Structure 1
Amino acid sequence: MSDITHHLPLLKAAQIVNNHALGSPLGTQRTKILMLGSGELGKEIAIELMRLGAWVCAADSYEGAPAAQIAHEARVLDMANPDQLDALIDEIQPDIIIPEVEAIATQELRKAVDAGIQVTPSSQIAAICMDRERLRVLAHETLGLPTTPYRFAGSLDELVAGAQAVGFPCVIKPIMSSSGHGQSVAHTPDDLESSWTEAQHGRRAADDDEVSRVIVEAFAPLESELTVLTVSSSAGVVTCQAIGQRQEDGDYRESWQPVGLDQEVLDRAHDLAVQIVDGLVDISHQHNEPGWGVFGVELFVLKDGSLLFNEVSPRPHDTGMVTIMSQRLSEFALHARAVLGIPVSQSDTRLTIPEGTTAASRAIVVHGNAEVVFSGVEHALSTEDTDLRLFGKPNVHGHRRMGVALSTAPTVAEAREKTQNILESLHITLL
């Protein structure tokens, strides 16, 4: 990866965001941040914002969310309900809104921007990235990024036609969902009806009676998957070292950095990441929004070494938890700086682990229906160069990520093994 900051035709910061008063979060002159979504990623973001002197209100759909436990104030509401979200914004009067989840009434974000509130990265980007149809059209048909063959469908009949066009096996996803919800693989035409039903059950829609459109994609011969964390700030766009990952049912389970691929592949990955973020930030600038923040750009590496764009999250990414161990500034610190208008340089994203070392993370997923208690942490962290984050979520219903194990080691395999050992050493009790 070249050590070059990619500069966009930037708007002057003074034209799109007020100067932020930091360092006095309980005083009269303060920067007020409203977090929409207060999970484990939001908790780390809130910590970094508070370290820089911002005041933070953490909102989520349930009591005791991770970020709500440490923020200055917290609220509970249905963020997909326009009236509730509008009332919250009116109450808090934030300077900056940071969406940390996708289940948000995005039309209210546009209203907030019109009222002079900064939305991160922007209201336009939030609306595009939560809609797979809009995002795929932008990435492939407007920007020319390589993707899997795809079709969109608004009915079972259209899904059948789309699947026949892209071929079997194929992947079916609701155009609005996250973390693998509603996603399935159809191996034959006989699977399509159940895939359609799965997509309707797993989709996110404003109206429960609303039919969700789906995207049907050709099944790609994957060698691996990458996340390239890409940062847009007042200084331009920079990228982090690519992150390797393992998923189950579309949801993150492990990640590691660096990935150890050929430099040519890594360079192309970073170029694709910059290209999609450039496109999104350009749209933000057209609407007088800064487009600042961290983007998690997801890419497929095929068996022949070629790369395909998959998706992009306009926020820190689950796989980026590994940056707590690996980088000078974690993805959360980078996001906080970018959001506040602080310039982020390529040097800020550099790896700080010794050369020839790999950092790894592993999600701690708990199954059951109860409160979760961890013990044995002293044994789990008895090995050098290991760490742990327990998210403090109040309970689990079904399965839920409740923590992350972190390590560094000379090789990817050794680093992953150390995180597995942390997981196996923990005692997890359901009450």
Structure 2
Amino acid sequence: MPLLPGVATLGVMGGGQLGRMFVQAAQSLGYTCLVLDPDAASPAGAVAHEHLRADYLDPAALRELARRCDAITTEFENVPAQALQQLAQSRVVAPGASAVAVCQDRAREKAHFDASGVACAPYAVLRSPADLATVPDSLLPGILKTARLGYDGKGQRRVTDRLQLAEAFSELGEVDCVLEQMLPLALELSVLVVRGADGQVVTYPVQQNLHRDGILAVTEVPAPQVDAALQSQARESAAAIASGLGYVGVLCVEFFVLKDGRLVVNEMAPRPHNSGHYTMNACDLSQFEMQVRAMTGLPLREPRLHSPVVMLNLLGDLWFDAQGVERTPDWAGVLALPGASLHLYGKAQARPGRKMGHLNLIGATAEAARASARQACALLGLPSEW
């Protein structure tokens, strides 16, 4: 039986912007929401019915969350898997601890891609300095990534030869790492796949992404440079990855398209994703409502893209002028643009590189959405060519 709106209470592990938008989607359906996060100024805690301020492994807080909630989700992948395991002893937890644990470790993630029959970049796992000698020459030049806790380009080093590899492994603390062969990339894309506890799977349209300095900058849907066959392959691959995990909820799978046209999977995130924020204005069901539906057992249906869209990620850099003086971006000008919808995350302090919000620009055509997005870039001081 589904956990019905207006009756059930939902819990969120994590209080960031993804939790905030999840809570808002759940509340619009009529659910009561509790957030567990240690930060007194958490964006999700500010909008939830209640904010439990405690560490993610605090036994009393976990008992309280389990006592008061009918189902619980996580809004970022580094919530301790053991906390999810404890909660799952008495409550629905989606995604489950075992799936999150795979996503928390690049080595296990790569192994799962292999097991799912989805190609990824050639790689090697390094667990000690002795493993450096076993690295095949074919993996250099490459990118060395920590197996755990890396995101938005953090915990990564580009290496061209064995000396640089050894130095980078030392700089990263000789923790478990994955070395990936550097591939000739044409573009990046991602797919949001949603899976229910009954095994039903639906996917969103393919999203074409542009990153700057390792952080997502622009998402376009429909993906302008991805043909129908490649889009179908990406959606089928994402579905296979989710099904192989026994996943429940929204999963984002990121891919590279190589210059020779091949598709390879990069990584996955066990939650709604920055590249899926366009769904809030361009689709009939947002990724956050889909997360609510999946974890509560409500019906899943194939989401419909009703408008072409460009999503612009808004980082804290926009709150400072060229001299570093703090300012307020020209929101009035931006919101005067056709199809513009602004989403700010309620963060009190802007910092360079910090995700402060996003801007969705929809249009009757992809060209119209792109034109509005470029006008927004000009108003905000963002690069307008991509």
Distance 1:390 1:199 in 2: 34
Taking a change above 3 Å as real, the CA distance of residues 409 and 174 of structure 1, as seen in their structure-2 partners, is: same
Residue 113 (structure 1) aligns with: 88
How far off its partner does 1:61 sit?
Answer: 3.6
Q: Following superposition of structure 1 onto structure 2, how do residues 96-107 of structure 1 map, counting pairs within 5 Å?
A: 96-107=71-82
Residue 270 (structure 2) aligns with: 314
2:15 aligns to what SS in structure 1?
A: coil
1:20 aligns with 2:10: no
Verify the 8 A CA contact 2:3 2:298 in the aligned structure 1: no
Amino acid at match of 1:133: A
Verify the 8 A CA contact 1:246 1:255 in the aligned structure 2: yes
Q: Following superposition of structure 1 onto structure 2, how do residues 347-426 of structure 1 map, counting pairs within 5 Å?
A: 349-353=303-307, 358-367=308-317, 374-409=328-363, 415-416=369-370, 418-426=372-380
| Structure 2 unaligned regions, length at least 5 | none
Residue 187 (structure 1) aligns with: 160
Residue 220 (structure 1) aligns with: 183
1:278 aligns with 2:253: no
Distance 1:165 1:412 in 2: 44
How far off its partner does 1:191 sit?
Answer: 2.2
Verify the 8 A CA contact 1:37 1:58 in the aligned structure 2: yes
Distance 1:159 1:181 in 2: 21
Amino acid at match of 1:241: P
Taking a change above 3 Å as real, the CA distance of residues 417 and 292 of structure 1, as seen in their structure-2 partners, is: same
Amino acid at match of 2:310: A
Taking a change above 3 Å as real, the CA distance of residues 70 and 144 of structure 1, as seen in their structure-2 partners, is: same
Root mean square deviation, CA, Å: 2.5
Q: Following superposition of structure 1 onto structure 2, how do residues 318-337 of structure 1 map, counting pairs within 5 Å?
A: 318-337=274-293
1:149 aligns with 2:114: no
Residue 220 (structure 2) aligns with: 256
After superposition, what is the alpha-carbon deviation per residue over 1:112-167, rounded to whole angstroms, capped at 9, x for unaligned?
Answer: 212x2111121211111111111211211x222211110000124424532x4443
Amino acid at match of 1:91: E
Distance 1:374 1:341 in 2: 42
How far off its partner does 1:226 sit?
Answer: 1.1
Residue 269 (structure 1) aligns with: 234
What's the TM-score once normalised by structure 2's chain length? Answer: 0.89
2:306 aligns to what SS in structure 1?
A: coil
Verify the 8 A CA contact 1:227 1:296 in the aligned structure 2: yes
* Alignment partner of 1:131 out of 97, 105, 108: 105
Taking a change above 3 Å as real, the CA distance of residues 198 and 336 of structure 1, as seen in their structure-2 partners, is: farther
How far off its partner does 1:194 sit?
Answer: 4.1
What's the TM-score once normalised by structure 1's chain length? Answer: 0.80
Farther off after superposition, 264-273 or 232-241: 232-241
Verify the 8 A CA contact 2:340 2:361 in the aligned structure 1: yes
2:82 aligns to what SS in structure 1?
A: helix
Percent identical residues: 27
Farther off after superposition, 249-258 or 363-372: 363-372
Verify the 8 A CA contact 2:11 2:73 in the aligned structure 1: yes
Distance 2:105 2:180 in 1: 15
